[in-house]
Amino acid sequence: MSGLFPFLPMFIDVAGRATVLLSGVDAMVALARRLLDAGAAVKVVDASPSAAMEALAPPLRLVRRSWRPLDFEDAVLVIAAMREQRAPQARAAARHAGAIFAMPGAAAPADLTFGAGAAWGAVSVGVHGAGLPGGVGEAIAARIEALAPPDYAGFLAAVERARAGVETALPAPARRDAFWRAAARDAFAESPADWDVWIRERLARA
């Protein structure tokens, strides 16, 4: 894998943490929404943000001017748009402030690259094609999302409720991991009326 895919798949927790967008164009609106949904404190620095971006404030914070290095203080993530003319300076300033720098869709150097995603409840799967058009990853993510049964999110919610009980019943980590692996696999093929009962019955057999 290392010879083919040059990135390390990771997820970043931005809840309650400062993130800075260096553009308020329409192309950045969906990303701003994703950050807000993830609980981030989002600041957009742009002299002329789009109406769609303005509509997100508040809770999004708008700063109507060009960015300055001081804008990156306490930020965990700084994101520039493809049109950013000072990308090298922005990356250097972000790194100096201890933030991760990203520039979605651009060939310019960045510390982080965004991919498409598929999600069911508490589980999210990220897809990124290194060097490929973004639409390729989006199509693959959509296909992965379609593979799960309609109520897989219900299974995952039941897993959260059953977790403590399973840890008590199966104290050995190896047995517990095997139980959850088998349950997650079999849940793709089954659609019980009650996932909580389904998990309890499996646990009784285990």
Which band of pLDDT confidence, cut at 50, 70 and 90, is reported for residue 20?
Answer: very high
Looking at every residue in the chain, the average pLDDT score rounds to 84
pLDDT for res 113: 73
Give exposure, 164-173, as e/b (b: 16+ Cβ within 10 Å): eebeeebeee
Which band of pLDDT confidence, cut at 50, 70 and 90, is reported for residue 10?
Answer: confident
Q: Give domain limits for the chain.
A: 18-114, 152-205
pLDDT for res 130: 63
Start-to-end CA span in the chain (Å): 35
Percent of the chain with pLDDT over 70: 86
- What's the topology of domain 18-114? Rossmann fold (3.40.50)
**Among the ranges given (55-59, 157-161, 188-192), the one the predictor scored with the smallest mean pLDDT:** 188-192
pLDDT of residue 156 exceeding 80, the answer is yes
Q: Which phi-psi region, left, alpha or beta, contains residue 182 (left: φ > 0; alpha: ψ -120 to 50)? A: alpha
Model pTM above 0.85: no
Distances (CA, A) of 169 to 165, 173, 183: 6, 11, 15
> What average pLDDT does the segment 15-43 reach?
90
pLDDT of residue 12 exceeding 90, the answer is no
Tell me the range of 1-15, 127-141, 143-157 where mean pLDDT is highest: 143-157
**Among the ranges given (114-123, 136-145, 156-165), the one the predictor scored with the smallest mean pLDDT:** 114-123
